[in-house]
Structure 1
């Protein structure tokens, strides 16, 4: 993702009844996006299909959360995660993403990935923002990206360990609290 896009600081929102849907191949290139995705991301379908899903990655999103997400779905497990995305014009929008592997007919071969995203509550985002800010600051503190991600991953594991919960339990605790 070699885009230099100025962030506007404007948050886009979408209706709680809407669902953003996208599908990717094994390398994260988009193979399907729905109209709500296009509306929120500010792209046309031709600007999305075949492009990396990271096209909408917001620079404030901790890379360690994406690493956890990809590690989880690559094993065939599902994951829920709060994600901040960037629109084509520099706006941003928060989602509660449910990401899972798409399986071949044999039920064992992963052929791609599917993500359904809902609009998170304001309370959930208020709970997530400071944690993500700490993780992102830890990543940025390191000049080496791999070291930064390793350090922020360790920080995330520490936060979860101190709370005595798994990542899934953490996400669901935020959902239930809001």
Structure 2
């Protein structure tokens, strides 16, 4: 079970040359975490292995983004996204995440492999208003309907822009480089 951590307003910056790498099983339980992840999140390996990856979920992240991620992964596709995570002290850090299905020799998904790097500041600034709108929709919808409600807003917003969330995020990354 996830510990209740109170968020702070202190940001932890992932150094430009660093990449966070984790692997999970099919249910999102961590099976591998690199030292960069442990250092940035300030969790020891023993606190991470076998624990749900959402141990670092920041409450500012809309549940609809995670619903989109899981839908994408379960369809066998890779996910790209901008994610605000939380350290063991409640500090926050942003990542540009790429999550892919981890396949066995027969092509069967056995888990997920994730690589996260620091996102350009423009990328974060571009998603914050969208995420804030999604969070407002989630609050109005209530806990049981929150993920579907904010996912619907995400899909509507992306349809208005003529692209998918993945394309939107990749486009932001390309513009920021």
TM-score higher than 0.5 here? yes
Give 1:141 shift.
1.6
1:133 corresponds to which residue? 132
Give 1:2 shift.
4.3
Secondary structure of the corresponding residue to residue 113 of structure 2: strand
Structure 2 stretches lacking a partner, 5+ long: none
1:4 corresponds to which residue? 4
The yes-or-no answer on 1:105 pairing with 2:97 is no
How far apart in 1 are the matches of 2:117 and 2:2?
27
Moved more, 49-58 or 146-155: 146-155
1:30 corresponds to which residue? 30
1:170 corresponds to which residue? 168
Give 1:177 shift.
2.4
The yes-or-no answer on 1:42 pairing with 2:37 is no
1:151 corresponds to which residue? 149
Give 1:17 shift.
1.2
1:53 corresponds to which residue? 53
2:116 corresponds to which residue? 117
TM-score (norm 1): 0.95
TM-score (norm 2): 0.95
C-alpha RMSD of matched pairs (Å): 1.1
Q: Which segments of structure 1 move beyond 2 Å, counting only runs of 4 or more?
A: 1-4
Q: How many residues align?
A: 176
Structure 1 stretches lacking a partner, 5+ long: none
Give 1:84 shift.
0.5
